[in-house]
């Protein structure tokens, strides 16, 4: 699918600054659609062999009125001569209004009937007339596109105060679009929090006094503790300590501010100065009560904290189990049962290590290097006899998702344990403190694959060894974790000692 921006790039001769200007317009033109109670189209000119064409590069619907154009018109193209009004506005650079039939390629449904042809089985009739206002979008002294508002003829009968004020604001902003000052350069208003007209609109005169506040703006002001009549007063007089309006009036630039009134009400104040012939004639303020949004943000933060707390408790519980197992092991006579309990305790502890790291890091990404350090310490400590095994690490796997980090750390715990436990059995008679062997852990991350090697310079694997057929517990756990949980591969061979190689994908979700 082509985006509006790509459409403009491929079909027109606009340069990057002009395209950026159009993108800014599309970031804030929801407000224009709302204020004009009409559908908006953004058109650019394309020169084709058959003559000048107009291509629709953007479309916006009002939230204050029902749409006349239910179809997606972006990408539609029509010959300039089929829409003389638009062609004239583009050529003259002047705002042009008038009534005309909706041009054929754009009339994808009967414009003024509310019945859906798909529902009623009606064939769309010949389009009726609609009212168009064509505003040339100017940038750097050149007309770069055309902003067309399309409204039904009968909608003109709405003439309440709110409608008059909105339409007046729209005209002032449209004049700013035509003279190239709106949208403001460097004003990045497109974002999830951007207020729209329905959130609350306040119009401020050149002296900073409120000339109009919409019903929703009144609600927001009430929540902020304003109970007096607002018209004719300044926001400061009403006790709303904000500086955005004054700054916007003084600088002629847009200003966004978050105002916190009482600890529990937060409002986003978005000021757009209204300019006419270079002078600031007022400010349009969009007011949005963002209290609930901010509360959600805070909840999310505390949810992160709660998750970390859970990990912390799981770790504590696992450590308790580990202690219980060790206690019980100590009560037994040395032998198989005692070893089994020690082993079980060790496995529990390697899970605890992971939870310990998770309990510290926000999000579910784990710096794997920290886990590796803990695992190596554990393997080193578990060497029962007096001799020593030197363990070294090369490389790093970076940050890993918990889903990968947890099984991978269990695997490494088993492999390291095997190396220190089995590879150097022959050297059990060595002098106390003597280094009898080395274990190397090599970690590499290549694109979205993780490579892990555990090698030792010990006795090597038993002759008849086969990882696929082994029934012993430790390596069965390793095999299952690597192949089914991690979706990876494992290879083991004797090569002047034992070499275990793992190949595991970073992302598990595509399995």
Ligand X SMILES: Nc1ncnc2c1ncn2[C@@H]1O[C@H](COP(=O)(O)OP(=O)(O)OP(=O)(O)O)[C@@H](O)[C@H]1O
Tokens of 107: 């009339």
The answer to whether 166 and 62 have CB atoms below 8 angstroms apart is: no
Among 456, 485, 486, 502, binds ligand X (CB under 6 A): 456
Distance from C-alpha of 2 to C-alpha of 187, rounded to nearest angstrom: 26
What, of Mg ion, ligand X, none, does residue 487 touch, CB below 5 to 8 Å by kind? none
Of 167-175, 301-309, 358-366, 467-475, which part binds ligand X (CB under 6 A)?
467-475
Q: Is 34 in the site for ligand X (CB under 6 A)?
A: no
Among 25, 106, 475, 482, binds ligand X (CB under 6 A): 475
Q: Is 195 in the site for ligand X (CB under 6 A)?
A: no
The site that binds ligand X (CB under 6 A) totals a number of residues, namely: 18
Q: Is 423 in the site for ligand X (CB under 6 A)?
A: yes
**Nearer residue to ligand X within complex by CB, 289 or 414:** 414
Tokens of 296: 């959600």
Closest CA to 44 of 84, 7, 81: 7
Query: For 223, what's the count of Cα atoms within 13 Å in the CB-facing half-sphere?
Result: 19
Q: How far is the CB of 414 from ligand X (least distance, A)?
A: 6
What, of ligand X, Mg ion, none, does residue 422 touch, CB below 5 to 8 Å by kind? ligand X
Q: Is 418 in the site for Mg ion (CB under 5 A)?
A: yes
Chain residue at closest Cβ approach to ligand X = 474
Q: How far is the CB of 385 from ligand X (least distance, A)?
A: 16
Distance from C-alpha of 257 to C-alpha of 247, rounded to nearest angstrom: 11
Query: For 31, what's the count of Cα atoms within 13 Å in the CB-facing half-sphere?
Result: 29
Among 163, 187, 304, 343, binds ligand X (CB under 6 A): 343
Distance from C-alpha of 180 to C-alpha of 483, rounded to nearest angstrom: 62
**Nearer residue to ligand X within complex by CB, 214 or 498:** 498
> Residue 433, by phi and psi: left (phi above 0), alpha (psi -120 to 50) or beta?
left
Q: Is 65 in the site for ligand X (CB under 6 A)?
A: no
- For the chain, helix (H) and strand (E) counts, in that order, are 12, 18
**Nearer residue to ligand X within complex by CB, 151 or 418:** 418
Distance from C-alpha of 270 to C-alpha of 256, rounded to nearest angstrom: 5
The answer to whether 42 and 147 have CB atoms below 8 angstroms apart is: yes
Q: Is 147 in the site for ligand X (CB under 6 A)?
A: no
Q: How far is the CB of 430 from ligand X (least distance, A)?
A: 17
Q: Is 318 in the site for ligand X (CB under 6 A)?
A: no
Q: Is 138 in the site for Mg ion (CB under 5 A)?
A: no
**Do β-strands 255-261 and 210-213 pair in parallel, antiparallel, or remain unpaired?**
unpaired
Q: How far is the CB of 293 from ligand X (least distance, A)?
A: 52
Q: What is the rounded end-to-end Cα distance, in angstroms, of the chain?
A: 27
Strand partners, 389: 437
Distance from C-alpha of 329 to C-alpha of 342, rounded to nearest angstrom: 6
Of 10-18, 100-108, 455-463, 473-481, which part binds Mg ion (CB under 5 A)?
473-481
Q: Is 350 in the site for ligand X (CB under 6 A)?
A: no
Distance from C-alpha of 357 to C-alpha of 370, rounded to nearest angstrom: 7
Q: Is 253 in the site for ligand X (CB under 6 A)?
A: no
Chain residue at closest Cβ approach to Mg ion = 474
Distance from C-alpha of 53 to C-alpha of 218, rounded to nearest angstrom: 46
What, of Mg ion, ligand X, none, does residue 473 touch, CB below 5 to 8 Å by kind? ligand X
**Nearer residue to ligand X within complex by CB, 269 or 329:** 329
Q: Which residues contact 441 (CB under 8 A, 6 or more apart)?
A: 372, 376, 391, 392, 393, 394, 412, 416, 452, 453, 454
Among 398, 459, 479, 487, binds ligand X (CB under 6 A): 459
Among 149, 214, 248, 498, binds ligand X (CB under 6 A): 498
Closest CA to 97 of 79, 85, 114, 112: 85
Among 27, 198, 474, 487, binds Mg ion (CB under 5 A): 474
Which residues contact ligand X by CB under 6 A? 343, 414, 418-419, 421-423, 456, 458-459, 461-462, 470, 472-475, 498
What residues line the site for Mg ion (CB under 5 A)?
A: 418, 474
């Amino acid at each position: 699918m082509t985006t509006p921006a790509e459409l403009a790039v491929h079909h027109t001769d606009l340069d990057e600054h002009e395209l950026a200007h159009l993108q800014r317009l599309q970031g804030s033109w929801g407000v224009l659609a709302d204020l004009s109670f009409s559908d908006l189209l953004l058109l650019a000119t394309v020169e084709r062999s058959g003559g000048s064409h107009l291509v629709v590069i953007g479309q916006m619907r009002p939230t204050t009125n029902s749409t006349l154009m239910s179809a997606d018109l972006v990408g539609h193209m029509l010959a300039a001569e089929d829409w003389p009004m638009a062609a004239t506005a583009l050529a003259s650079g002047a705002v042009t209004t008038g009534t005309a039939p909706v041009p054929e390629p754009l009339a994808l449904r009967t414009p003024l009937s509310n019945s859906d042809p798909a529902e009623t089985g009606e064939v769309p009739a010949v389009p009726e007339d609609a009212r168009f206002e064509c505003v040339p979008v100017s940038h750097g002294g050149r007309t770069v596109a055309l902003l067309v508002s399309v409204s039904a003829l009968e909608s003109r009968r709405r003439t309440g105060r709110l409608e008059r004020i909105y339409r007046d604001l729209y005209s002032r902003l449209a004049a700013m679009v035509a003279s190239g000052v709106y949208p403001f350069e460097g004003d990045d208003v497109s974002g999830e929090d951007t207020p729209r007209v329905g959130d609350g609109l306040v119009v401020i005169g050149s002296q900073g006094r409120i000339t109009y506040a919409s019903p929703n703006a009144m609600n927001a002001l009430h929540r902020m503790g304003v109970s007096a009549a607002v018209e004719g007063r300044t926001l400061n007089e009403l006790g709303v300590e904000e500086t955005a309006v004054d700054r916007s009036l003084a600088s002629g630039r847009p200003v966004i501010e978050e105002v916190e009134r009482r600890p529990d009400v937060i409002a986003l104040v978005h000021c757009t100065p209204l300019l006419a012939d270079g002078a600031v004639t007022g400010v349009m303020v969009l007011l949005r009560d963002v209290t609930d949004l901010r509360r959600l943000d805070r909840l999310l933060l505390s949810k992160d904290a709660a998750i970390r707390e859970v990990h912390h408790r799981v770790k504590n519980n696992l450590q308790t189990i580990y202690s219980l197992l060790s206690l019980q092991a100590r009560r037994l006579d040395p032998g198989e049962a005692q070893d089994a309990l020690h082993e079980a305790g060790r496995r529990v502890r390697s899970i605890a290590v992971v939870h310990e790291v998770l309990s510290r890091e926000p999000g579910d990404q784990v710096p794997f290097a920290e886990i590796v350090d803990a695992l190596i310490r554990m393997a080193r400590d578990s060497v029962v006899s007096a001799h020593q095994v030197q363990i070294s690490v090369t490389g790093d796997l970076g940050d890993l998702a918990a889903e990968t980090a947890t099984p991978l750390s269990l695997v490494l715990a088993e492999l390291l344990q095997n190396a220190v436990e089995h590879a150097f059995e022959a050297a059990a008679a060595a002098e106390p403190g003597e280094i009898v062997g080395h274990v190397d852990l090599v970690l590499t991350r290549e694109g979205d694959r993780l490579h892990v090697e555990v090698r030792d310079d010990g006795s090597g694997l038993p002759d008849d060894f086969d990882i696929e057929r082994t029934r012993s517990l430790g390596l069965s756990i390793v095999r299952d974790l690597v192949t089914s949980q991690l979706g990876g591969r494992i290879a083991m061979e004797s090569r002047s000692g034992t070499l275990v190689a793992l190949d595991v994908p970073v992302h598990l979700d595509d399995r």
